Amino acid sequence: MGSLLDAADKDYLRRKLGRKLGKFAPSIERTSVRVEDVNGPRGGIDKRCMIKVVLSGLPNVVVEERRHSLQAAMDRALGRVERAVRQAMQRRRTKPLKPRR
C-alpha cells in the first residue's frame, strides 16, 4: 500500500476486502492492493487502486480503477474484484468435464 493511505484508509480497505472476498477465502491464496497518485499535484483523475487476487487453480484476477478520489477508486475496484472472483469461481464449478476416451 502506498503512502497515500493513512491508518483509517488501511483499516477501511481491510474491512471491505474481508466483506467482499471473505466468502471466497478457501480459494484465495493471496491478495495485494496498490494505490498511487498518478499525476501528483497536477490533479485530474489520478488516484489509482489496483487489486490482485491469486486464486488456487485458477488464473489471477487483477482489477484497476482510476477516480478523482482515493475512496471512490477503492470502492469501485473492490466491487469489481468481488464480481470478477465470483465469476471465476462459477466458471470453475460449471466447467464441463472432459469426456473419457
Domain with residue 45: its CATH number is 3.30.160.100
CB of 87 within 8 A of CB of 61?
Answer: no
Tell me if 1 is assigned to some domain.
no
Instruction: Write down the pLDDT at residue 54.
Output: 96
Return d(Cα 5, Cα 79) in angstroms, integer.
19
Total structural domains within the chain: 1
What pLDDT is attached to residue 30? 95
pLDDT at 69: 87
By residue range, what is the domain housing residue 45?
A: 7-93
**Residue 82: CB partners within 8 Å, gap ≥ 6?**
20, 21
CA angle 72, 23, 64 (to 5 degrees): 30
In tens, the pLDDT along 36-90 reads 988 776 766 688 999 999 999 899 999 999 998 889 999 999 999 999 999 999 8
- What's the pTM value of the predicted model, to 2 decimals? 0.81
